[in-house]
Structure 1
């Protein structure tokens, strides 16, 4: 952790400038780091290309190395006012950015390129029985006083994103399934919905849904096919019988009035 002790004597703008310089340093590339790969990296992977990660050990949390401001001196009201003004002026450096997907219900915050800033007062630490281990820290951007571990934690960061992303994925899948179900064809004969196999079969062969059988479910299509085949078989038999009758010689030739054939 980086530590700044402030006796409430310098302008708040100077504190913001310190935070800006820390941020600039955290964004420096490591020697021989590929700038193009760094630009394409997302989340925690971006830190692999930065100089600070070669000097400081991993924090185990999102973001850069935490920065703590310990205020002391003047009155409690003045120290409180100073913390509030610092919070307002330095938000761009510690607030993080919303993850994409707000319209899908994702409200998590991406802290990977933000400086976690915590503040406290020396007077508050000395008054607490637990000292610096007590609930004497406040993370800028939050309202409650917490222990240092709690203040540096990011419950609204990656953990929340993972949960909300899964929820959004599930809602999308359910919505797409409902929309697909609404498009599922219904048999024009019996009124039953098509099975996935029947629907995918017709889609797979590029059915235009203009043929009568395309509007039938599997069983009705099979029955219609069987009826059509029986009709074709019956017609073929009738045609074959007519062809044989036309090809056979007459059994009785034309005869005269008295049954005697004419002589030629």
Structure 2
């Protein structure tokens, strides 16, 4: 509690003094002592009513944990809250202490109903837009859940993210590309835009057991759940494009409560790892898709320039004047295809025009020569005919 409400304090003295004062007024009581040695405090019925009146109406307060007594009237140590609930509370506390939202930025057990009858509940839902994380779902694991169960949670979250919004057109949703598809999905009507490609990010916070066991758990989850967070390759990998399309993927980050509390910067430090990456980063860096759309745009432009360079290098030169073909001439030949036996395909545009002009001049000269020869032959024939007529009259 003191990490959440007074993160600047180095110890919990102020929080303990406040709780003891509230205990004297009947607002809170000690539910039980945890294995860690910490006391678990809960609201009494009086405190529960008081909190309801103080909190905003849109903030959901947890159910009242009533005190139970044995047959002799002695209080029974509570069993309603356990180590998992304490770990969830501590997770919210350390993140709030790192300025990820405020104590009112958190909600627990938010339901995500699926059409096949299952409801996926998130341990925590964080909204911290001022810290660059508009929304994030958190799952806390004390290294006691099977990895298959953790993977199933990601599968169900993915199923929920893919649900159509009411009255959304399925045909338009199938035709949409990139972030445009979110407009047709139910989740975009409930959660704010994340600011990155992909669905709402999911964080797994591990705690308990040994560091080696926590590391093994993260690696096994990474292997088992790759289909849900890895994204897809953009087209053009053969042309040097290595960027990843994350628009239909769940950004998944992992951390450890022990790592957070040991880091001087707490949850604001480099204590987060994005599944699919090796390095530990800040939460903002981990959620950023440096190898996503931005990289694709850069690589696509580079690929276009390389293609243009290759085409320029392969571009034919004129067999007559030696000049390279212009873009217009080269694109015309590429689009039409080479003609078998057409020598003009070897000429640039100006030389081709000169070639056809010369051919036309030669044809015109040939036609003129034929006409002249025919006319001279006709004139000679006429003179010969007249000569023959004059000779006959003299005889």
1:135 Cα offset (Å): 0.9
1:202 to partner: Cα distance = 10
Q: Which piece of structure 1 moves more, 133-142 or 161-170?
A: 161-170
Three-state SS of the structure 2 residue aligned to 1:3 is strand
In structure 2, the CA distance between the partners of 1:237 and 1:163, relative to structure 1 (3 Å rule), is same
* Cα shift at 1:50: 0.9
Normalization by structure 1: what TM-score? 0.80
SS at match of 1:250: helix
Is the counterpart of residue 156 in structure 1 residue 291 in structure 2? Answer: yes
Alignment TM-score, normalising by the size of structure 2: 0.55
Distance 1:124 1:15 in 2: 20
Structure whose residues are more often strand by fraction: 2
Aligned to 1:59: 194
Number of aligned residue pairs: give it.
Answer: 253
Give the alignment partner of residue 365 of structure 2, picking from 185, 207, 230. 230
Give the structure 1 partner of residue 181 of structure 2: 46
2:387 is matched with which residue: 218, 236, 250?
Answer: 250
CA deviation after TM superposition for structure 1 residue 30, in Å = 0.9
* CA 91–63 in structure 1, closer or farther in 2 if over 3 Å, else same: same
- Structural mapping, 1:1-264, within 5 Å: 1-175=136-310, 181-182=315-316, 186=319, 190=320, 217-248=352-383, 249-250=386-387, 253-254=390-391, 261-262=394-395
- 1:155: how far off? 1.2
Quickly say closer, same or farther: Cα 1:121–1:218, change in 2 above 3 A: same
CA distance in 1, matches of 2:146, 2:286: 25
**Runs of 5+ unmatched residues, structure 2:** 1-135
- Structure 1's unaligned 5+ residue stretches are none
Q: Is the 8 A contact 1:209 1:215 kept in 2?
A: no
Distance in 1, matches of 2:268 and 2:229, equals: 23
Shift of residue 233, structure 1, vs aligned partner: 2.1
* Deviates further, 152-161 or 220-229: 220-229
- Partner-residue secondary structure (3-state), 1:120: strand
Q: Post-superposition shift, 1:61?
A: 0.5
Alignment RMSD (CA, Å) = 3.6
